[in-house]
Structures are given as C-alpha cells and as structure tokens.
Amino acid sequence: MKRILTMAASIAILLGGLEGKAQENPFFSEFKTPYQVPDFQKIKLEHYLPAYQEAIKQHDAEIAAIVNNKAKPTFENTIVALDNSGEMLGRVGSTFGNVMGTDGDKAMRDLAKQITPLTSKHYDDINFNEGLFKRVEAVYNNKKITSKLTTEQKMLLENTYKGFKRSGAGLPVDKIARLRQINGELSMLSLKFGDNNLAETNNFKLVLENPADLKGLPQSVVDAAALEAKKANLEGKWVFTLQKPSMIPFLQYSEKRDLRERLYKGYLNRGNNYNENDNKEVIKKILTLSKERANILGFETTADYILDDRMAKTPANVYNLLKQVWTPALAVAKRELADMQELAKSEGMNETLQSWDWWYYAEKVRKAKYDLDEEQLRPYFKLENVREGVFYVANKLYGLEFKKITNIPVPNQEQTEAFEVTEKGKHVGILYMDYHPRATKRVGAWCTSFRRQSNVDGKYITPVVSIVCNFSAPTADAPALLNADEVGTLFHEFGHGLHNLLSNVHYKGVAATQVKRDFVELPSQIMEHWAFEPEVLKVYAKHYKTGEVIPAQLIEKLDKSGKFNQGFTTVEYVAAATLDLDYYSQKDFSNLDINEFEKQSMANLGIIPQIAPRYRTTYFSHIWGGGYSAGYYSYMWAEVLDADAFEAFAEKGIFDQATAKSFRDNILSKGGSDEAMTLYKRFRGAEPNIQPLLKNRGLN
C-alpha cells in the first residue's frame, strides 16, 4: 500500500511538473518579443517535444472543425480555413528545423529522431483525411465557386487540391497504408543522410606540422589554418578542413601536390568510406522507396512524378536543356585544360593534370592571362562592406532600408546579426544573417524563413527571414575577407531574402516559399548580376585597412576575367544535375551499385576525368532530402530566366526604376499567386531564350 501511494504521489508530481513546464514553454503562446520573432534565448531543448505535441493536438482540432462543419464546403470555410490552420505547429516547426540546420548538436539531432515520426504521421493524417479531401474536392469541382475566385485564390485552390492528389488522397486503403510507411521511412532516411554527411565533413582534418608544407599559401590562408588548429587544441600546427573557405584556397595555392590530392580526395569520398557514416545503402533505400511511391501515385519514375508539378514538366525537357549547355561547356572546359596543361609543362610538370590540380593551375592561368590573383581582391571584400553593398542594391532598386538591431533574440548570439527592414519608415520584416562555419552547422548557404508573409483576416503578417552561409571567418589579424565566389553567394542568398521580404500575397499557401522549385532561383540568381557591376563595386569594395575604393584597373581585370573558368564551372554543375536526373529516372534499383552507376552516368555524359560532378552521389545533400530530388537542374533552368531578365535592366540601366518596379510587382511580390511563366511574361513581355545564358558564361 505504501508503494502504491508513493507511485501515485510520483505521478502527481510528474504531471504537475509537466504542467509547470507547459506554462514556461515559450511556444505555448505567441512570442512576447519585438516583432514576435522566436524567443531563441528562452527556448530550451526540452521545450520542443511538448510544443510539437501540443501543436499537433491543436492542428488536429482545427482540421476536425473543418471536416465537421455542417455548412456546405466553400472557399472560405475549407480552403482558407485549412491555409490558416496549424499556426502553432508552423512556429514550432520552423524554429526547430532552422535551428537544427545551424546549431544541430548531437542532442538536437537525437531529438529530431523522436520528432520526425510524429510530424510525418501528422501530415499523413491530414493528407489522407477522407472527409477533408471530400470538402476540398467539392470546392474544386464547384464552378459557381471557382468562377468567382481571384487568380490568387484559384492558385491556392489548385495547389491545395493537387497537394492532396499528389500525396495519394482518394487511393485504396492498402495503398494509403503503404504510402504512410514509405513517407515515414523516407523522413528518417533523410535525417540519417544528413547526420552522416555532417559527421564525414567534420571528421576529416588535414593537419600540417612542417612549415615547408605551407609553401605557396597566402598568409591569410595560413592564419586561418592556425586559428582552426587552435580551436582543435592543436596550437602550433595548421589545420585544413573540408569546409570550402578552408579547402578551396588550399587547392588554389598549395605547391604540395600530394597534400592537395589528400585534401580533395577527402572531400570527394565523404559518405563513401565504408564506415558507420557511409551513405550508399541510405541512398539505395531512398531511391527504392521514392520510386515505389511514384508508382503508387501513377507515375513510372520518381522524375516523372516530381517534374509533373514543375515548369519543366518532363525529364526529356530537362535533358534537352542540359544538353544545350553541356556541349559548348565541355568544349570550353577542354580548352581550359589545354591551357593549364601547357602552363604546367612550361614549369617542368610533365604528368597529366588531375582533378586536384584544377584549382591550382587555373589560378596560375588567371594570373598569367589577366594579371589577376584572387587574393588581390580579398582585401576589398570585407564581409561587412559586401553586406552593405547588398543593402545598397536593395535600396536603389526597391527603396528598402536596413537597420541593425540588438534588442531582439537571435538564433545564435555569437554569430548572427539582426536587421529591421523598412520602406519609407514602414516595417517590412526582420532579416537574420549568419555567416561562418560551425561544427553543428550543415555546409553550404541557404535562405529560409521563421515566418512567412501572409494576410490573415485583414491582418498583414510580416516575414522573418534568415540568410545562412559558411564564409571565410575572421582571423586574429584580419576581419572576414571574402573571395569573389563568396561575394556572389551573399548576393544570391539575399535575392532569396528579397523574394521573401517583398512577398505581398494573402495566403501562406502561395507565399514566396511555395514557388515552383525551378522558378524560385530566379530572384536569387538575378541578384548576382549586380555583385560585380563597376557602379556597385565602387560603393562597397573598399580596402579593409585603408578604406581605398577598389582601383579601376582591378575592376577592369575582374570584368575581363568574368568568363574565366566557366567551362569548368558549367561542366561540374551540369554533371551533377545529370547525375541527379539519371538516378531518379531509373525504374529498377535492385542491383544498384552506387559507385558504378555514378561512373557510368559520367561516362555516358562524356565528362573529362579532371572534373568531378559538383556533388558526388554520397554527399549530394540537395537531392537526398534537401528538396531538389530530380530538381538540381533548377539552377540552370532559372538561369535561362535570370540572364534574360537582367537584359531588361542592362538595356535601360541597372537601377532603372520602371524595370525594378515591374520586376517587384510581377515577380517578387507575387510569390506563387499565379503560374510562373505567366508572371515572367508579364515582366519581360515574352518567354526567355537560352542565348543570354550562353553569352553570360562565354559559351556562345
């Protein structure tokens, strides 16, 4: 009896503790912060799971209210109600997902393994809710309703209905049960791939002890490696990692060919080392399950299923685009290789160049041809100055102002800045910027949002946007100095940021984040065009020590070398895009050998051995859960658009206000509220052609 009483008392204490935690949990009410941004400093790891559980419970109740509504289905009581539902889940999910991407330590990643099955089941419960789908379908088929809808409302209805159909709504019970299993397994496999990829990137270090091994490296690169060694408790040594700000300069300047080979092979073999982090079996399972899901949904391959809902529509259309670019790009890459081989021979290197030699000899050719060393540019690309250059372009084009603020919570206090974005004094949104690599941060650069823009019941909801990068970090003696590629990346991600910040739609389901994958890169890629315009460079490219504006002769060299190495850049990209599509176009994976498949795919393409795909299979995170499955071609598809679109600015002036207004009104503010090509033609007056892209890359 005494033991029973003790257990009862323990349960009461536990329940009381949970109730107390709920009251303290920042997610259980709207954030009481400026601009209602997530309360990052109060959110603890233990808050997430209870918050998810409560958010799912609330969302379930909202869905039940829609399904059980006795009134006939209407656009408002069904489609809009569904679009507005899940507000708490949106807050919790966006916060957890984004923080895990930038600060995903082991505890957080372990927690994700608990949360992912909950959310997978929850969204399946919605997608396979027969009563809900019947109401959506009733609205979709009701001509009296649809004839009165605005274009934006029709797009929301179309997206909602197609979303259900593409998820499997209306299928027999046994097929729905199998789809649930597949969705659950795929979500966990995606997590596993990401865990392996992060571990493989972090686990490799090239540790140098002999100063002679640093031969050829600029002092800034040596200093950064010394700082990396200090972080790893290897003071007095030099550490180079697989993070691009560490790896690429080493490949460009190190005179130690054997060390270049070791570092580059470490990069190429991530996830392919036959250890506990090997990704090959994970990928085979992803491919097999994805194809089975596509078959259940009525498509022959995963590529057919995915592209059916994209601008491209079919794999054949994508292959056609890639082929148009591949042929001239490969010819240019071969000429680039010949130039490098000739230079190497003149220096007494008679061996055939390999992939780990490309950056080194390309840099030498750049210097010989254009008298330009990329290290000459770095002093003019101080991170803070480049950021101000990005803000300058946004102000000149769209009248936006950016004010750094310190009175709001930020995702990572040590490395993230916050800015309030305004237009003519009116609040537009919040922008976070997170610049440098961390062991808990996934590689690459991306733009995301903690809150999407919408207009719910007449209340305008402003966006909270975040730009995340992995740029060269400050050293003990110098601030963060970017290379030209990193400058372009910041402009690129900021273009995504503008798309989110300037979205002006009514419904979350057609906001900027809902744009078709092969259209979403247009706003980002067009921004890259301004990065190296002389007029813009003179504003932000100032020497970090003297404040001297970048000299005209350096701008001229930069301009003349703008198409340098574009054969290599284009070939490695098209190779990766082709590899992606080749995988997802397959019909049988029973005897798949990942390494052999990749080798054969590249052989069929005719790639030269000195160039590897931009992403090899086992670390190609874009396509194994990163949202670009059978869609990595999207960057090239969008480049056809952005190159053509920038011609409109080039013709009338890069800051022409009428052109900027048209781009904002027809592209940036519209999100996914109309068909992508319709929006584009409203801006440009016609569909684009590929010639501006080939011209920009020097491939025509």
Residue 100 lies inside a defined structural domain of this protein: yes
Measuring CA to CA, how many Å separate 111 from each of 96, 107, 201, 374? 10, 6, 21, 43
Task: Give the number of other CB atoms < 10 A from CB of residue 259.
Answer: 19
Tally helices (H) and strands (E) across the chain: 28, 9
First to last CA, the chain: 88
Q: What is d(CA 332, CA 620) in angstroms, rounded to the nearest whole number?
A: 25
Q: Where are the alpha helices (DSSP H) in 204-243?
A: 219-231
Contact 374, 359 (CB under 8 A): no
pLDDT mean across residues, the chain: 95
> How big is the CA angle at 124 (ends 157 and 140), to the nearest 5 degrees?
20
Question: φ, ψ for residue 401 (rounded to 5)?
Answer: -115, 145
Residues 6+ apart with CB under 8 A from 367: 373
What is the C-alpha separation between 215 and 361, in angstroms, rounded?
Answer: 15
pLDDT band of residue 7 (cuts 50, 70, 90) is very low
List the catalytic residues.
493
Helix (H) or strand (E) holding 658: helix 657-663
- Give yes or no for residue 662 having a pLDDT over 80: yes
pTM of the model: 0.94
**Cα 337 from Cα 351, distance rounded (Å):** 13
Residue 476: per-residue pLDDT: 87
161, 219: one domain: no
Tell whether 294 is covered by a domain.
no
CATH code: domain of residue 25: 1.10.1370.40
| 86 and 149 inside one domain | yes
Position 289 in a domain:
no
Domain boundary among 154, 170, 186: 170
Could you read off the pLDDT of 258-274 as tens digits, one per residue? 999 999 999 999 999 99
pLDDT tens, residue by residue, 173-199: 999 999 999 999 999 999 999 999 999
Residues 263 and 157 in one domain: no
**Given 216, 249, 268, which residue is the final one in a domain?**
268
| Predicted pLDDT of residue 456 | 79
Q: What's the pLDDT band for 700 if we cut at 50, 70, 90?
A: confident
Residue 584 near residue 301 (C-beta atoms within 8 A): yes
Same domain for 240 and 106: no
| More confidently predicted of 223 and 23 | 223
Give the residue from 554, 568, 563 showing the smallest Cα distance to 374.
554
Element (H, E) at 604: helix 594-605
Same domain, yes or no: 29 and 98: yes
Confidence of residue 308 (pLDDT cuts 50, 70, 90): very high
219 occurs within a structural domain: yes
Q: Are residues 389 and 467 in the same domain?
A: yes
Please tell me the distance from the alpha carbon of residue 232 to that of residue 567, in angstroms, as a whole number: 37
Residue 49 lies in a domain: yes
Residue 23 pLDDT = 63
The pLDDT of residue 2: 35
Residue 6, pLDDT score: 39
Percent of the residues in the chain that have a pLDDT greater than 70, as a whole number: 97
How far is it, in rounded angstroms, from Cα 7 to Cα 439? Answer: 43
Q: 87: domain range?
A: 2-170
Tell me whether residue 519 is in a domain. Answer: yes
pLDDT of residue 22: 56
Query: Does 163 share its domain with 250?
Result: no
Instruction: Judge if 498 and 385 occupy the same domain.
Output: yes
- What tokens were used for 142? 């009701």
Question: At 126, is the secondary structure helix, strand, or coil?
Answer: helix
**Spatial distance between the Cα atoms of 592 and 596, rounded to a whole number of angstroms:** 8
Q: One-letter amino acid identity for 482? A: L
DSSP string for residues in 317-380:
HHHHHHHHHHHHHHHHHHHHHHHHHHHHHHTT--SPP-GGGHHHHHHHHHHHHHS--HHHHGGG
Cα separation, 104 vs 96, in Å, equals: 9
160 domain-assigned:
yes
Residue 459 CB neighbours (<10 A): 7
CA torsion 387-390-392-396 (nearest 10°) is: -170
326 CB neighbour count, 10 Å cutoff: 22
pLDDT value of residue 513: 81
Identify whether 233 is part of a domain: yes
462-498 residue pLDDT tens: 999 999 999 999 998 899 999 999 999 999 999 999 9
The first and second tokens of residue 405, run together, are: 């603020």
What is the structure's pLDDT at 19? Answer: 45
Average pLDDT over residues 687-691: 94
∠ at Cα 340 (338, 345), nearest 5°? 95
How many whole angstroms separate alpha carbon 634 and alpha carbon 546?
Answer: 41
CB contact at 8 A, 488 and 461:
no
CA atoms of 315 and 317, how far apart (whole Å): 5
pLDDT digits (tens, 9 = 90+) for 32-81: 999 999 999 999 999 999 999 999 999 999 999 999 999 999 999 999 99
* pLDDT tens column, 242-259: 999 999 999 999 999 999
Residue 239 has pLDDT above 50, yes or no: yes
| 225 and 139 together in one domain | no
Instruction: Decide if 438 contacts 102 (C-beta within 8 A).
Output: yes
Shared-domain flag, residues 545 and 668: yes
Residues 391-438 pLDDT 10s? 999 999 999 999 999 999 999 989 999 999 999 999 999 999 999 999
Cα 285 to Cα 690: distance, rounded to the nearest angstrom: 37
Considering the chain, what percentage of its residues have pLDDT values greater than 90? 94
Q: Are 532 and 483 in contact (CB under 8 A)?
A: no
Give the end of a domain, one of 268, 285, 310. 268
Number of domains into which the chain is organized: 3
**123 and 236 both lie in a single domain:** no
Give 442's pLDDT tier (boundaries 50, 70, 90).
very high
**Cα atoms in the 13 Å half-sphere on the side-chain side of 248:** 15
The 10 Å Cβ neighbour count of residue 629 is: 24
Q: Indicate if 264 and 125 belong to the same structural domain.
A: no
Q: How confident is the model at residue 15 (pLDDT cuts 50, 70, 90)?
A: very low
- Report which of 568, 542, 510 is spatially closest to residue 251, judged by C-alpha positions: 568
